[in-house]
């Protein structure tokens, strides 16, 4: 008889939660998700004076929904991503009713809401951040490092796509570290007439409400002044799923630059590392993030140290198609054999047998 899992994911547009759930179904588990209450945020006045009570009430109602699902479904395990929308009510219910709790952090556990405060309730904790493995969450039990691999149903090579639309692409939010590097790349692309595209959901051109207009106009003026070349490359909207896969497959070189805020919490590979390899893309990544993996520099992907080093490598590989193709094929093989989500999640599944 297959084990039953109460699956508590992360509501939102990102696809990781759905992909992980589908993998558990493929691995033979009986999965039920609780109701996720609609989160309607407060206005600025309410946030200023009533935020704590608002969030406390919302998490209380959400945890009652978790408990209700557990009572009806009677799971063998509760699996939680990122301690999502959690307070102690559901966690205590599971402990009292001997329902083992397993958490997978697809951010550092130090980023996940109240995860450090709640971690002693869990029986097993996995994290995609290597430095989290130093954290003891229960007597003699430590967080286990587990990279967030790629969903091969989404990220895969496009057949017969020899002609690439873009020379370079980058996808992600823009912190100062990324902005400074990407401006140098955009300047190089402008000088050599390369087709460089940057997708980001940071608010620049779209003004969701009139109250944000002054802030966004100031941001736009700042970006135009500090990053004039980059601004010409930006497509200001989220990109997900098939559209994202098509972009990767239509780019000669895909850039992967990790965020630099709280660098000690971003020591491993981000999910994009494996998504790009899963599409058989040629990936250039900032150095220092693959030492805990099987990936090898100059075999599976290419690392860079500085903006100047990045531009040299872009220039070299744009003019050496065969070497670029060789590395992208090797990286794809390594990813498919080791970092497909189905393969990685077996480590968690083994705890639920």
The pLDDT of 61-85, averaged and rounded, is 96
* pLDDT at 97 exceeding the cut of 70: yes
The pLDDT of 133-157, averaged and rounded, is 96
* pLDDT at 293 exceeding the cut of 80: yes
Q: Which is more confidently placed, 162 or 313?
A: 313
* pLDDT at 48 exceeding the cut of 90: no
* pLDDT at 108 exceeding the cut of 80: yes
* pLDDT at 11 exceeding the cut of 90: no
Q: Which is more confidently placed, 120 or 51?
A: 120
Q: Are 198 and 167 within 8 A, CB to CB?
A: no
Q: What integer pLDDT is reported at residue 212 of this predicted model?
A: 72
* pLDDT at 105 exceeding the cut of 90: yes
Q: Are 123 and 102 within 8 A, CB to CB?
A: yes
Q: What pLDDT digit, counting tens, does each position of 194-247 carry?
A: 999 999 988 877 766 777 778 878 888 999 999 999 999 999 999 999 999 999
Task: Find the range with the poorest average confidence among 18-27, 68-77, 151-160, 270-279.
Answer: 151-160
CA dihedral defined by 100, 101, 104, 108, rounded to 10 degrees? Answer: -140
Domains within the chain, CATH numbers bracketed: 4-146 (3.40.50.2300), 166-338 (3.40.50.2000)
Q: What integer pLDDT is reported at residue 49 of this predicted model?
A: 64
Q: Calculate the average pLDDT of the chain.
A: 92
Q: Which is more confidently placed, 159 or 178?
A: 178
37: pLDDT confidence band, cut at 50, 70 and 90? confident
* pLDDT at 89 exceeding the cut of 60: yes
Q: For residue 297, give the 3-state DSSP assignment.
A: strand
Q: What integer pLDDT is reported at residue 236 of this predicted model?
A: 92
pTM as predicted: 0.92
What DSSP state is assigned to residue 170? Answer: E
Q: What pLDDT digit, counting tens, does each position of 310-350 carry?
A: 999 999 999 999 999 999 999 999 999 999 999 999 999 99
Q: Which is more confidently placed, 48 or 132?
A: 132
Q: What integer pLDDT is reported at residue 53 of this predicted model?
A: 78
Query: Buried (b) or exposed (e) across 85-124, using 16+ Cβ within 10 A?
Result: bbbeebbebbbeeebbbbbbbbbbbbbbbebeebbebbbb
Q: Terminal CA-to-CA distance of the chain, rounded, Å?
A: 11
Total Cβ atoms within 10 A of residue 188: 19
* pLDDT at 45 exceeding the cut of 60: no
Residue for token pair 């009292």:
96
């Amino acid at each position: 008889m297959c084990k039953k899992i109460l699956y508590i994911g992360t509501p939102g547009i990102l696809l990781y939660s759905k992909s992980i759930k589908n993998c558990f179904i493929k691995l033979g588990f009986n999965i039920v998700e609780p109701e996720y209450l609609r989160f309607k945020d407060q206005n600025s006045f309410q946030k200023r004076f009533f935020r704590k009570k608002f969030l406390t009430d919302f998490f209380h109602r959400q945890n009652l929904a978790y408990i209700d699902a557990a009572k009806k479904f009677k799971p063998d395990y509760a699996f939680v991503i990122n301690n999502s929308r959690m307070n102690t009510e559901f966690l205590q219910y599971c402990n009292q009713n001997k329902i083992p709790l397993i958490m997978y952090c697809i951010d550092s556990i130090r980023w996940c809401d109240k995860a450090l405060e709640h971690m002693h309730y869990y029986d097993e904790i996995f994290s995609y951040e290597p430095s989290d493995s130093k954290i003891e969450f229960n007597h003699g039990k430590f967080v286990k490092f587990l990279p967030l691999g790629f969903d091969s149903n989404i990220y895969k090579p496009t057949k017969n796509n020899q002609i690439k639309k873009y020379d370079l692409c980058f996808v992600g939010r823009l912190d100062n570290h990324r902005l400074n590097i990407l401006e140098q790349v955009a300047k190089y692309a402008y000088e050599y007439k390369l087709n460089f595209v940057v997708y980001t959901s940071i608010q620049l051109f779209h003004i969701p409400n009139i109250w944000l207009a002054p802030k966004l106009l100031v941001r736009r003026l700042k970006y135009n002044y500090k990053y004039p070349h980059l601004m010409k490359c930006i497509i200001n909207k989220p990109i997900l799923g098939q559209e994202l896969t098509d972009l990767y497959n239509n780019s000669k070189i895909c850039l992967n630059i990790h965020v630099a805020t709280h660098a000690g919490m971003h020591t491993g590979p981000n999910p994009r590392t494996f998504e790009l390899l899963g599409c058989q893309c040629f990936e250039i990544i900032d150095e220092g993030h693959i030492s805990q993996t099987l990936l090898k520099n100059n075999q599976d992907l290419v690392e860079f140290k500085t903006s100047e080093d990045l531009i040299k490598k872009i220039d070299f590989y744009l003019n050496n198609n065969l070497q670029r193709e060789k590395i992208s094929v090797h990286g794809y093989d390594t990813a498919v054999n080791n970092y497909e989500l189905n393969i990685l999640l077996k480590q968690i599944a083994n705890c639920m047998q």
